[in-house]
Amino acid sequence: MTIIATGEQDLTYEGTSYTVGYWAEGNCIYIPAILGKPPEDCHPDESECEILNVRALWASSAEGEDLTESLLLDALGPLLDLAEVETKLWAAYNGEDPDDEDYDDTDDYDHGDAA
C-alpha cells in the first residue's frame, strides 16, 4: 500500500543547523502471523517498508532564516535519516502520529538474551 508521510528533522550542513521539513512516499505491507495451526499453515509476522521518494520541502536555519532555495534543499534531502522517515511511514500506515506524546515505538518482540 502506498503511504504518504510528512515530518521534520534537525540537520547540520556545512556548519549550519537546519530544521528540514520533508515529504515521503513509500510502500508498506504488513502480514500478521498465523499461529496455532498445522506447521505448514503457520508463519511469523511479515512486514516491509520500501521508501520510494523523499523530498525536502523547506528548511529553517537556527538563526531563523527560512529557506526554500532548491539547491540547498537538494543538498539537505540526502542527509535525512531514512530510519526516521520509515518510522513516519509506518505510523501513517497505522493511522498514528509519532509526534504524539502517547506514541509507543517500542519493539515488543522478544529477541532473546543478547548476552
Domain boundaries, the chain: 2-93
Rounded Cα distance between 40 and 58, Å, is: 50
The string of pLDDT tens digits covering residues 7-41 is: 999 998 888 889 999 999 999 999 999 998 998 88
- pTM over cut 0.75: no
For residues 9 and 84, the answer to whether their CB atoms sit within 8 Å is yes
| Sheet bearing 2-13, strands edge to edge | 2-13, 16-31, 46-61, 66-67
The string of pLDDT tens digits covering residues 74-101 is: 888 889 999 999 999 999 998 886 666 6
Q: How many other C-beta atoms are found inside a 10 Å radius of the C-beta of residue 7? A: 21
Rounded Cα distance between 89 and 9, Å, is: 14
